[in-house]
Amino acid sequence: MKWLVWALFASASVASATPPVQSVSPYAVVGDAIEKSLTGQAGDPSRGAELIQQRHKSLCVLCHSGPFPDPHLQGTLAPDLTGIGERLSAGQLRLRIVDMKRLKPDSIMPTYYGIVTNGKDTRIAEGWRDKPVLTAEEIEDLVAYLRTLRP
């Protein structure tokens, strides 16, 4: 039942100003989480720790602050991720990285696992077309790392 509500919510947000986002390979949303690993395997927290700091690749620290190096280069556009592993389960973290807009259609957080349809209104740059921002493996690494952030 809960699932149905999220599914409706998701299709409603697609019907609005945001262009359609296709998922890369299907995943099931239950409540506010994706319980199953996108790769079927657990991610590597040390690779996740590396990736979260790569401001040109994962982009996370452009918006979020947290217990990462170079605090003066961290953004103030999003919640601090310190202790996030205590507040959110792996499944909840996964859905937020995969597609925050399912929970909050007007979120500025990019959809990391989904393909935005290119067109004259969306103007995806050539090198970024037809691919998600991060791969399933990379998202699993981030989930594994964020789970280690406990106060």
What residues line the site for ligand HEC (CB under 6 A)? 58-60, 62-64, 77-79, 84, 88, 93, 96-97, 100, 104, 107-110, 112, 142
Residue 51: CB minimum distance to ligand HEC, A: 8
Q: Which does 95 bind (CB under 5 to 8 A by kind): ligand HEC, another protein, none?
A: none
Contact 113, 136 (CB under 8 A): yes
CA dist 16 and 14 (Å) reads 5
Among 84, 88, 93, 133, binds another protein (CB under 8 A): 133
Contact 137, 51 (CB under 8 A): no
The reply on whether position 12 binds another protein by CB under 8 A is yes
Q: Is 68 exposed, middle or buried (0-12, 13-18, 19+ CB in 10 A)?
A: middle
* Choice between 4 and 151, CB closer to another protein: 4
